[in-house]
Chain A
Amino acid sequence: MTLFGLGLRKPHYEDVLSGNVQLDFAEVISENFMFPGGRPLADLLAVREKCPVALHGVSMSVGSASGLDRDYVQRLRALVDVIDPLFVSDHLCWTRVPGFSSHDLLPLPYTQEVLDIVSNHVQAAQEILGRQILLENPSAYLGFAESEMPEWDFLSKLCAQTGCGLLLDVNNVYVSALNLGFDPADYIAHFPMANVRQIHIAGHSQGQDVLVDTHDQPVCDAVWDLFETAMTLVGPVAVMIERDNNIPPIGELLDELAMARACADAAAKRGLGH
C-alpha cells in the first residue's frame, strides 16, 4: 500500500495534534529532536500518537573521507529507540571534515573510492542503529570530472553492498538534471526502483545560474510528471510533500498531497503503480 504524508514543520503541528488533519505518516528532521528534553521532543511524541513518524537527517555525512561520526549516530539511535520510526533516512552527501561542519548537503564524486567509503559508513550506521537506513539522492549544483559512474549506478551498488534502501527525491532529480545537463526521465528510468521505500516531492527556485533546491515553492508540473513516471516503476512506497521555507497553510500542502494521490492513481493505471 502506498502511504501519503507530509514533512511536518512547526507551523502545522497543531493541525496534526488537534486531529483536524489525518496523515498516513509525518516526516521530521531528526536533528531538531536530538536533545535531552524540552518541548520539541514532547510534541514529537504526541505526533507519534497520531501517526507513524519518519526521521529524516541532514548530518550523518556518510560521505566524509575522515570517517563516520559515531557519537552522532549513537544520539540518533537514542531518538530512534524513543520514536520507533517508520523510516530513518539521510542523504548521499558529505557535510563535515574534522574541525568543520558545513551544515549543507555537499556533493560527492561517484568513484569506487567513494563507494567503498560510503558503504563502510552506511554499514556502520545500520549496525549502530540496528536497522536499515534510506539514502536520498541529493540535489547537485556541480558535477565532478572524477566521477566514474552515474548517480543511479552508484546508489544501486550501494544498496547491493549495504542492504540500505533509497529515498527518491523527484525534485532533486529535476534540479540536478537541469543543473548538470542530463535527462531527468532517463535518470528515473535507470534508478534502482526496487530499493525505493520513500519518495519526496518538493519545489525549487531559479537561482542566478542554476536551479536551487529551496523547498519554498509549490511543486512544478515537470516534477509532477516525473513523479507519475516514477510511480509506474516503483512498488509500495511512502510519498510525501516536503516544504521547509515560505511554508503555506496546511491546506495548500494537503492539496498537493491530493495531487500526489491522483498521480499515483494515474500511474497505477499506466503501469505497476501502487
Chain B
Amino acid sequence: MNLASIQKAMRGWLETGNPDYVVDFGDAAQPGLNVYLNNYRTQLLHCLDRAFPHTRTWLGSDRFHAGARCHIMAQPPVAWTLDAYPVSFAAEVGTLFPDDLVAHELAELELALSDAQTAADRLPLSRDMFTHLDWEQVSLTHASGGQVLRHTSNAAEIWSALSRAEISPVPKTAKAPIDILVWRSDWAPCFRIVDADEAEIFMQMNPALRFVDICAQLEQKHGEEAGIARAGLLLARWADDEAVSVSAT
C-alpha cells in the first residue's frame, strides 16, 4: 500500500469502525487500530463535553452523549483545530434533540460565548474616552467577540440558572423573539438580553456605525428629545459593559 492508500483506509476505519477498511493492515495491527479508534472518538466526545457543559446538564449526560456519538459518526472534524468541531454540533442539536424546546439555543449560546473567549482583542470604549472623541465623526463597532443572537425560547434564562447551579425555569417559547448580546469583557465572555432597539443598532455595528447615525435612528423612532436621551443611555451602558469599541475606519 502506498501512503495515500494507507491514509484512506485509516480514515475509513476511524470514521466508521468498519474493519473492512483496514483488512490489509493484518491481524497483528488490530489492538493498535483499536487504540487509535478509541483515541479518536474519546477526544471528540471530550471536546463536545467541554464546549457544551450546560447543554449537557440540561439534556442529561446519557442523552447528550448519545447525540454526540451520533454526530461524531456522521460528521468528522475537518479543521486543524479541535475548537472548530463544536460549530457543526451546535448546528445539529435541533435535529438531534427535536423534542427539546431549548437545547439548540443553549448550544448556540455556549458556542457564541466560547468564540468570544478567543476573538480578536479590541480596546473597549470607556467613559474616560468620551471627552476625547469627536462625536460627529466617531464610529462604533463590537467589542471583542460581539454578536447578537435571536432566540425563540427562554434558553438564556435557563443557561443562567444552570451556570449558578439553580433550579432552571420551565422551558417555554417566547411571545416575541429574544435578542441576546454576546461579547467579551475583561477576558471573560458575557451576555445580556437587550430590547429590539439595542439589538438592531448593535447588529448594524458590524463592521461599524457612526454615532450620529445611531442618534438619527433613535430620534426618528422616539422623537428628538427621547431619541437623544436613549442614545446617551445606550452609550453609557455600552461603556460600562465594555461592549463596544471605537472603529478605526
Q: A38 contacts B118, CB within 8 Å?
A: yes
**A248, CB-defined interface residue at 8 Å:** no
B79 at the interface (CB under 8 A from A): yes
Contacts of B117 in A (CB 8 A): 38-39
**Would you call A69 an interface residue if the criterion is a C-beta within 8 Å of the partner chain's C-beta atoms?**
yes
CB closest chain-A residue, reference B6: A109
A94 to B5, CA, bound (A): 13
Q: Interface segment, A141-149, A220-228, A231-239, A253-261?
A: A141-149
CB distance from A44 to the nearest CB of B (A): 12
- Encoded as 1 (CB less than 8 Å from any B CB) or 0, chain A from 64 to 106 comes to 1110010010000000000000000000001011011111101
Does A36 belong to the interface (CB within 8 Å)?
A: yes
Interface residues on A, range: 35 or more
Q: Interface centre among A63, A106, A208, by most B CB within 10 Å? A: A106
CA distance in complex: A195, B228 (Å)? 69
A→B interface (CB under 8 Å): 31, 34-42, 59, 61, 63-66, 69, 72, 94, 96-97, 99-104, 106, 108-109, 111, 113-114, 117, 140-146, 179, 207-210, 212
Shortest CB distance A175–B (Å): 11
The total of chain B residues at the interface (CB under 8 A) is: 41
Choose the segment among B38-46, B93-101, B170-178 that binds chain A (4+ C-beta atoms closer than 8 Å).
B38-46
Given known pairs A100-B77, A141-B31, A209-B31, the reply for A36 and B40 (CB within 8 Å) is no
Residues of B within 8 A of A108 (CB): 3
Are A34 and B35 in contact (CB-based, < 8 A)?
no
From B6, B15, B43, B122, name the one whose CB has the most chain A CB atoms within 10 angstroms: B6
16 contacts between A and B (CB under 8 A): A31-B81, A36-B118, A37-B118, A41-B118, A42-B121, A42-B187, A65-B4, A69-B80, A97-B7, A100-B78, A102-B77, A103-B40, A108-B3, A141-B35, A142-B31, A144-B6
